[in-house]
A and B are shown apart, each in its own frame.
Chain A
């Protein structure tokens, strides 16, 4: 199993540009999550999904959209990037014992 993978690993955007971050898991997990982590801080939840076709807002959802068209994929979109969205983005999925498995992260810089 590859576990949780994230694409891309690094990205630099200019203010106002858009992009989509892809998260994929091969463990057949229902629950998936997107977090962001700013320097020296803990992770904060952006959006999550409890199953295919469903999404919900987390702690810091503004400026982001998500989609879960397939069970194994959870996409995070930035429609108009801002410097405040410079961060490391982590995706996770949850197993039936409530353990969360995290991907390696995507480092995003918005100039």
Chain B
């Protein structure tokens, strides 16, 4: 599975959009981009995933560049409860166990 690179930490003002970048320059054609987050002491929570097209759900938007070498997770109106570590993960959707490989993630701090 391709590796990802994320900034260690980011700050965002409450009510503003939080844009979290992720580089995955070695991603292969059949690997998806997944985003999870982990709020302090809790289990990780699924946010969104995509292959080529941009995706949006009730939690966030995912923008994937045309060459698929990077992506951005957008929280449109960040709240204090969005303070968490955000993990960008790439892997293939097959039936070989689908192990999620978690890197260090980005620690997002939403400030009042």
A-to-B contact residues, CB < 8 Å: 4, 31, 33, 35, 41-45, 48, 50, 56, 58-59, 88, 90, 92, 94, 98-105
Decide if the interface of chain B is mainly helix, strand, loop or mixed. loop
Q: Do A90 and B44 touch across chains, with their CB atoms under 8 A apart?
A: yes
Q: Do A42 and B105 touch across chains, with their CB atoms under 8 A apart?
A: yes
Distance between Cα atoms of A33 and B91 in the complex (Å): 16
Distance between Cα atoms of A45 and B103 in the complex (Å): 12
Query: Smallest distance from the beta carbon of B30 to chain A beta carbons, Å?
Result: 13
On chain A, the residues within 8 Å of B93 by CB distance are 98
On chain A, the residues within 8 Å of B103 by CB distance are 42
Contact A42 to B43, CB < 8 A, known contacts A50-B97, A98-B93: no
The tally of CB-CB contacts under 8 A between chains A and B is 54
| Size of the chain B interface, CB-CB below 8 angstroms | 21
Query: Smallest distance from the beta carbon of A48 to chain B beta carbons, Å?
Result: 5
Contact A31 to B100, CB < 8 A, known contacts A102-B43, A105-B42: no
Q: Do A92 and B99 touch across chains, with their CB atoms under 8 A apart?
A: no
Distance between Cα atoms of A84 and B12 in the complex (Å): 36
Distance between Cα atoms of A103 and B42 in the complex (Å): 8
Distance between Cα atoms of A101 and B100 in the complex (Å): 12
Query: Smallest distance from the beta carbon of B39 to chain A beta carbons, Å?
Result: 11
Query: Smallest distance from the beta carbon of A69 to chain B beta carbons, Å?
Result: 19
Q: Quick one: CB contact mask for B35-55 with A, threshold 8 Å, 1 for yes?
A: 010000111111001000000
Distance between Cα atoms of A50 and B95 in the complex (Å): 8
Q: Do A100 and B100 touch across chains, with their CB atoms under 8 A apart?
A: yes
Q: Do A44 and B41 touch across chains, with their CB atoms under 8 A apart?
A: no
Q: Which of A41, A45, A92 contacts B43 (CB 8 A)?
A: A92
New A-B pairs, 12, CB < 8 Å, besides A48-B97, A59-B101, A105-B42: A31-B97, A44-B102, A45-B99, A45-B100, A45-B101, A48-B99, A58-B99, A59-B99, A90-B44, A98-B98, A100-B98, A103-B43
Q: Do B43 and A94 touch across chains, with their CB atoms under 8 A apart?
A: no
